[in-house]
Amino acid sequence: MFDKLDQIFVTALHWLVSYVPEMLRPVVSAMICIAFVMAVFPGVFAITTVLERKILGRIQNRYGPNRVGIPFTKIRLCGFGQFIPDGIKSLTKEDIVPRAADKVVHFLAPVVMLIPVLVSYAVLPFGKHMTITDYDAGLLFFFAVGGAVEVSVFMAGWSSRNKYSLLGAMRAIAQMVSYEIPLILSAVTVVMVVGSLNLSEIVKHQNNYTFGIAHWHVFTPWGLVGFVLFFIASLAESNRTPFDLPEAESEIIAGYFTEYSGFKFALFFLGEYLGMFAIIGLGITLFLGGWTSPVSFLTWIPSYVWFLSKLMAIVFVFIWIRGTLPRLRMDQLMNFAWKFMLPLALINILVAGIWHYMAADWQRWLVCSAIIFGAYAILGRGLMQNQNFGKRIYRYAE
């Protein structure tokens, strides 16, 4: 029975497709899958916006949205109806285009942002047998498609003819290019150990249990380092605090989408969050076992529930970090990427190789952990060098 519940969406898809003529089946099946992605993830986005405001409110010792519920009743749903008026507001607002703006490029930028992000969902395994296209080179596809986002950011920043937009776009591109390297290198370790670029294959490799605990990659030394690197790089790729320099409100208004209003602004917002979900989904697939359960006695819970709950858990950590950490400076950002994360990612690839070729006993745990700790200590020292971390002196405040 649990198996049926697990495969309910796959069964439903097969049942729906069986009603259309043979010739149209691939097209209809693709359409239903696209509709599924277009319904589920913007829905998650809507919930996340409210959740983010509520959690940030809780962290900052205030209420956050708690009014909007069902209209004409007294049911408030703890404010979780907030995304509906937000959406209606952005739909009905005037679309302002600056007179000096490059009209065509300005119009196309949010579209160019959203399309690659949506396309990247095609290879993510949301559950058991729930990959839309089970592609042999899925990981490569994901990273290749993500490359187009930079173009859209540039288009938005340049076409607005606004110095803040251009500054934000420059910052965003520099940051994305820098952090894409540790992102891809940390994913390479998984490819080395699994021996496949297929994301379903990578999940299958983690779907084994010893003493009731799953073989997730995050439970190995290289996997833990890879996951932490991937996590930090994905924070930077999705422009979240502490890497939110491209849209630093207190410095450059809203960065590359300063000159956007109404629904185009909402599209940028949507694109950014969907990109965040996609990259978290990839991180879950690579290191956190995808749709598998962490312990063997919970395998009866449907796979898509596991995927979504892991997604929401990491989104919560993202929001938590946003409420906790201050923004980095540009030089700190670059130093961290190039002097710490990149060397550590390279050493981690070496460690993954050693892990793969050593016999599976306690010795490889010892050797791999020792190399990683040593590298971490040395690189951390190198990053801290020539920097005074003493008490901060405020020149004008005293």
Partner 1 sequence: MSPFFVITGIVTLLGAAFAMSLRNLVHCALAMAVAFSGIAALYLQLDAQFVGFAEILVYVGAIAILIVFAILLTRSGEAPEKSVLTSGWMAGIAVSAMVFTMLGWAVLNSSAIPKETSPAPVATVRNVGDALMTRFVLPLEIIGLVLTAAMIGAVIIALKEDSQKSKSEDGGQQ
Q: Which residues bind partner 1 (CB under 8 A)?
A: 102, 105, 136-137, 140-141, 143-148, 150-151, 154-155, 158, 173, 177, 197
Nearer to partner 1, 3 or 136 (CB): 136
Query: DSSP 3-state assignment of 360?
Result: coil
Beta strand residue intervals within the chain, DSSP E: 209-210, 213-214
Nearer to partner 1, 40 or 184 (CB): 184
Nearer to partner 1, 79 or 138 (CB): 138
Torsion angle of C-alpha atoms 81, 109, 149, 115, degrees rounded to 10? 60
- Contacts of residue 38, Cβ cutoff 8 Å, sequence gap at least 6: 118
Contact at 8 Å (CB) between 240 and 276? yes
State the minimum distance, in angstroms, from the CB of residue 315 to partner 1.
Answer: 26
State the minimum distance, in angstroms, from the CB of residue 202 to partner 1.
Answer: 14
State the minimum distance, in angstroms, from the CB of residue 154 to partner 1.
Answer: 6
> Pairing state of beta strands 213-214 and 209-210?
antiparallel
State the minimum distance, in angstroms, from the CB of residue 388 to partner 1.
Answer: 21
Nearer to partner 1, 45 or 121 (CB): 121
Nearer to partner 1, 116 or 223 (CB): 116
Instruction: Report residue 352 as tokens.
Output: 């993954």
Neighbours of 181 (CB within 10 A): 16
Query: DSSP 3-state assignment of 131?
Result: strand
State the minimum distance, in angstroms, from the CB of residue 194 to partner 1.
Answer: 13
State the minimum distance, in angstroms, from the CB of residue 178 to partner 1.
Answer: 13
Q: SS3 string of 65-122?
A: CCCCCCCCCCCCHHHCCCHHHHHHHHHHCCCCCCCCCCHHHHHHHHHHHHHHHHHHHH
State the minimum distance, in angstroms, from the CB of residue 140 to partner 1.
Answer: 5
Nearer to partner 1, 152 or 293 (CB): 152
Residue 207 sits at the vertex; the CA angle it makes with 7 and 40, to the nearest 5 degrees, is 40
Nearer to partner 1, 147 or 212 (CB): 147
- The CA distances from residue 287 to 199, 203, 229, in Å, are 11, 9, 11
State the minimum distance, in angstroms, from the CB of residue 44 to partner 1.
Answer: 27
Burial group, residue 322, by CB count within 10 angstroms (0-12, 13-18, 19+): middle
Rounded Cα–Cα distance for residues 314 and 319 (Å): 9
Nearer to partner 1, 179 or 291 (CB): 179
